[in-house]
């Protein structure tokens, strides 16, 4: 897992460099590793993309997750998020999406030098989450 963790962090640092964050000036990069049905691993990245209409901004974590899901990879294993100085964790919307797809996935929050500052799972970050179990389907 150390090789995977290192790869995730390296990819998240690269993704952070692609951030479009002219308003917040807070570039974020994310990378996620997912398994395909035959057990092979695939990496996906995301970065925050801001918009002058702030509500249309999307976070790096959701971009990475949506890249994986839209490519047919639904078994999410781990994710790394990189910010300057390792500040912050996932926002509420990201926490809900993370919980939906992988409530026990390890998430490594890192600084832009690649040092892990904190580790959580979506279950840790969003206790008492709203999930499909709450729906009558």
CATH number of the domain to which 45 belongs: 3.40.140.10
Task: Give the chain's domain count.
Answer: 1
Q: CA 101, CA 92: separation in Å to the nearest integer? A: 15
Catalytic residue among 61, 85, 106, 128: 61
Q: How far is CA 120 from CA 52, 85, 102, 103, 117, in A?
A: 31, 17, 12, 10, 10
Q: Residue 81's pLDDT is what?
A: 98
Residue-wise pLDDT for 107-137, tens only, equals: 999 999 999 999 999 999 999 899 888 897 6
Q: Which structural domain range is residue 30 located in?
A: 2-134
Q: Residue 16's pLDDT is what?
A: 98
User: The tokens 């092979």 sit on which residue?
Assistant: 40
Contacts of 65 (CB under 8 A, 6+ apart): 32, 44, 46, 76, 79, 97, 98, 101
For this structure, is 85 an active site residue?
Answer: no
User: The tokens 């490519």 sit on which residue?
Assistant: 71
Q: Residue 79's pLDDT is what?
A: 98
Element (H, E) at 10: helix 2-16
15 has a pLDDT exceeding 90:
yes
46 has a pLDDT exceeding 70:
yes
Per DSSP, 58 falls in state: B
């Amino acid at each position: 897992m150390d090789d995977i963790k290192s790869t995730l962090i390296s990819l998240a640092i690269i993704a952070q460099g692609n951030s479009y964050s002219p308003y917040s000036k807070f570039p974020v990069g994310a990378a996620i590793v997912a398994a395909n049905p035959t057990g092979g691993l695939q990496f996906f990245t995301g970065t925050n993309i801001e918009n002058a209409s702030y509500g249309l901004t999307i976070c790096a974590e959701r971009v990475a997750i949506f890249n994986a899901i839209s490519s047919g990879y639904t078994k999410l294993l781990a994710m790394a998020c990189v910010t300057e100085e390792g500040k912050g964790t996932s926002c509420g919307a990201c926490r809900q999406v993370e919980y939906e797809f992988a409530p026990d996935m390890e998430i490594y929050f890192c600084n832009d030098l690649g040092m892990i500052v904190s580790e959580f799972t979506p279950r840790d970050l969003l206790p008492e989450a709203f999930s499909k179990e709450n729906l009558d389907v």
